[in-house]
Amino acid sequence: MQGLLAGTLNARWTYVNPEVTFGAYREGVRGAILETFALHAARSVQYTLYAIADVMLATYEDIRDVTLAMEERPFLPVDPFAPGDGEPEGVFLAGEAPLRTVEVTVERDRDPL
């Protein structure tokens, strides 16, 4: 059984046009982040963050670049009832401190001059 991926995600982005307001995009971007995180086959934290950034840039043309930072926390499978009785099913123990913070920045492709 694999560990459970959980953590705190911070997202920052800038717009192509400074006239765009944050409020118009907040809920849509939040939904794209949650959906991508939930449905994406995570090979690693970095892979997942790049997938989220790609979806944001593909969905919202007014976003110029995205920076995502995730504080990764370990949630490891445990068997609280009988050691050695096989794999635990759905019981995870949260680690006390974050393992690391992973940060990625993805920019929209710019038109060649």
pTM of full prediction above 0.85: no
Contact status, residue 55 vs residue 68, Cβ threshold 8 Å: no
Contact status, residue 29 vs residue 60, Cβ threshold 8 Å: yes
Domain borders along the chain are: 4-107
pLDDT for 64 equals 95
pLDDT of residue 113 exceeding 70: no
For 34-90, write each residue's pLDDT tens digit: 999 888 877 788 899 999 999 999 999 999 999 999 987 766 667 766 566 555 566
Tokens of 60: 């919202």
Please report, in angstroms and rounded to a whole number, the separation of the first and last CA atoms in the chain.
51
* DSSP at 72: E
User: Per mean pLDDT, which of 6-10, 52-56, 89-93 is the most reliable?
Assistant: 52-56
